[in-house]
Amino acid sequence: MESRWNEAEAGSSPLEQCVYGSRLLGSEPTLVLHGGGNTSIKGPYLDITGVEIDALFVKGSGWDLATIAAAGFTPLRLSRLSELLDLDAISDQEMMRELSAARLDPAAPQPSVESLLHAFLPFPAVQHSHADVIVALTNVTEGDAIVRDALGDAVVVVPYVMPGFDLARLVRKVWPAETAATGMVLMNHGLFTFGATTREAYERHLDLITKAEQYLGPAPPSSWRELPAPNPVDLADLRQKLSEAAGFPMVMRRYTDPDVARFVARPDLGSLAGRGPLTPDHVIRTKRVPMIGRDLDRYVRDYTEYFEANQRRTGRDLQMLDPAPRIMLDPEWGMLAAGRSLADAEIAADIYHHTIPVLERAEDQLGGYRALSPADLFDCEYWDLEQAKLKRSGPLPEFAGMVALVTGSASGIGRATALELLARGAAVVGCDIAEPTIDEPHCLGLQLDVTEDREQKEAIARAIEHFGGIDIAVVGAGVFGESQNVADLDLDSWDRVMSVNVRAVGALLRDLEPFLRRSPVRGRVAVVASRNATAPGKGAAAYSASKAALTQLARVAALEWAEAGIRVNIVHPDGVFDTGIWTEDLIRSRAAAYGLEVEDYKRRNLLKTEVSAATVATIVADLCSDRYRATTGAQIPIDGGNERVI
């Protein structure tokens, strides 16, 4: 691994260089994943009186090394940390309380749980990662001997103990009186390197990783094996059961890349994948083991037994976490990753993508993969300080774990609704005949013609593979057609409007029904109709008739689907002029049909208020929320008030 250090970019102060080196370390996913790793620099802290205090600037909890700033480093009084290290014992809660009290800036973030270890190491700069190749050396039988064989006297090797006070005390105990070591390997955990400067610590990190890479040799070759697409209904079934086991809706994404396809084809898949994660940190993201195959009931039973056995061992009064797997491995389906949010699912998948080659190397090249014991992993999974990492993310948004499909999402009400649902935490599949333009990782944009049944079915299948299911459907696609009197009606134009506004929606609802029935939160449908459905306008026969038919279609669906708990509601917007339907020519023609000037036509509602696409989107999202759990078949005008409707 080559150094990317650029002295011109590193800054001049020790803290600036620590920030720069941390970002270099954190931007390499084979070294650090999703908030893992930590770094520090020792130096003077200038207090408000001008006095210099010897301090440890250590990464604060909640910061990611890839993006950390100077504000992410907590200054701690070094002398106080030395006093804490002299104690014989201290609880985790006491340690974190004392570390918090040792902050020289009370506004700084909570310091890393490994602050005492950073404080003990007798070097100004320290860098710590969970490098894949280092973990590959440690997670095997006779791992300590293999580490020494690969890295020699360049490292101090420390057996695994829980991070925190016990680890700092153990390192202090085993640290050689004299050593030329440039690094330290913590078994089943990762690599520390140190130096007079961050650059020295960083480049020593890379030197040791390069030695490990050379010792291991080339990574397993990737080989492509195409995995057949599962029946979307089967995927939705699994997601429903998974969510029920968890007690909340979950997003579930399928992966079939070459590494996954190769790994799930192994004859020893169950044994190898079932031994545990690479480091104890991963257990809170991926659970102790993945689910092999599709027997969810067995996985839940096994997890419950694991919890009960270890709770008896510890004698602690603990509440069991949800027993649903986060990673599922299947020889036919590949890898499925699940999470309470899309971000959680992606983090679990990312971690397991890095796990696969390490498992293969350890098993095939180093004599057999060996993880920490279930007891050690349980202690980390139910460690208060690890659970705090998850709690710091705060409450989940309203639609977390839910998946919404929105048609007409490239503009107008459809786009505004897609953005509103995303803002409330949903994963969104946006469909439109124009290319969807929402630049948001939680949105899958699909270009399609809703009048083509095959394209709509394929879009649903892609949505299921990408997110696991569909909970919310918003019918936003629609066309107005040409403004024509009935006496001048063009039937080709009539058919086109009916095809988009009615027939395509009928096909969509038909094809969505199996997935809405399998929604863990019960399906929710919102249909964007129009004021014209109840109060038609001159010259808009096709549009008015199609929206009336659409309204009746939605009402029938509400009647038929109520027994499954699926809600279907309708909104009737009017005068929403920031949508694609309302061209300048159409606005002028409609104003003329009413004998009004354009500006008077735009303000013709009773409240004289503006009705925007965002206004409609807010109400659509509300209708799909739990606040309207007892409402179906409703028709809500969003038009500022209209005498003909009222």
Same domain, 196 and 65: yes
CA pseudo-torsion sign 116, 117, 118, 121:
positive
Tokens coding 170:
């153990």
Residue 308: what pLDDT? 97
435 exposed, middle or buried (CB, 10 Å; 0-12, 13-18, 19+)?
Answer: exposed
CB 410 within 8 A of CB 436: yes
Same domain, 125 and 39: yes
CB 186 within 8 A of CB 222: no
Across the strands, what pairs with 195?
125
CATH number at residue 198: 3.40.225.10
Secondary structure (3-state) at 449: coil
Same domain, 158 and 28: yes
Query: Which H, E and C letters describe 526-563, residue by residue?
Result: EEECCHHHCCCCCCEHHHHHHHHHHHHHHHHHHHHHHH
Domain boundary among 188, 216, 244: 216
Q: For tokens 């010897």, what's the residue?
A: 54
Same domain, 438 and 355: no
Cα→Cα distances 477→203, 302, 413, 431, Å:
56, 47, 9, 9
Its domain, for residue 137, covers 14-216
- Mean pLDDT is lowest, of 212-226, 459-473, 602-616, for 212-226
CATH number at residue 559: 3.40.50.720
Beta strands at 52-59 and 73-77: parallel, antiparallel or unpaired? antiparallel
241 closest CA partner among 519, 531, 537: 519
Tokens coding 158:
């420390």
409 closest CA partner among 396, 426, 392, 386: 426
Domain contains 22: yes
Same domain, 342 and 453: no
Beta strands at 567-573 and 524-528: parallel, antiparallel or unpaired? parallel
Domain boundary among 384, 419, 444: 384
CB 401 within 8 A of CB 341: yes
Who contacts 509 (Cβ-Cβ below 8 Å, separation ≥6)? Answer: 473, 525, 553, 557
Total of domains in the chain: 3
Domain contains 415: yes
Higher pLDDT pick, 336 / 584: 336
Domain contains 644: no
Mean pLDDT of 211-224: 83
Mean pLDDT of 104-122: 95
Reported confidence tier of residue 582, pLDDT bands at 50, 70, 90:
confident
Domain contains 37: yes
CB 470 within 8 A of CB 404: yes
Domain boundary among 216, 246, 275: 216
| Kind and range of the H or E run holding 225 | none
Domain contains 39: yes
Residue 223: what pLDDT? 67
Reported confidence tier of residue 389, pLDDT bands at 50, 70, 90:
low
204 exposed, middle or buried (CB, 10 Å; 0-12, 13-18, 19+)?
Answer: buried
Q: Count Cβ atoms below 10 Å from residue 48 Cβ, excluding itself.
A: 5
In angstroms, rounded to a whole number, what is the distance separating the alpha carbons of residues 613 and 419?
11
What letter would DSSP give residue 397? P
Tell me the CA end-to-end span of the chain in Å, nearest whole number. 72
Same domain, 445 and 354: no
Same domain, 466 and 557: yes
Residue 584: what pLDDT? 86
Domain contains 104: yes
Beta strands at 567-573 and 635-638: parallel, antiparallel or unpaired? parallel
pTM of the model: 0.92
Answer yes or no: is pLDDT of 580 > 80: no
Domain contains 53: yes
**What is the chain's alpha carbon radius of gyration, rounded to the nearest angstrom?**
30
Answer yes or no: is pLDDT of 292 > 90: yes
Secondary structure (3-state) at 162: coil
- How far, in whole angstroms, is CA 231 from its chain's centroid? 24
Same domain, 30 and 158: yes
- What rounded mean pLDDT belongs to the chain? 94
Same domain, 359 and 326: yes
DSSP 169-201: HHHHHH--SS---SEEEETTTEEEEEESSHHHH
Percentage of residues in the chain having pLDDT higher than 90:
86
- Mean pLDDT is lowest, of 18-22, 114-118, 223-227, for 223-227
Reported confidence tier of residue 366, pLDDT bands at 50, 70, 90:
very high
Same domain, 26 and 155: yes
Domain contains 392: no
Same domain, 535 and 624: yes
Same domain, 439 and 578: yes
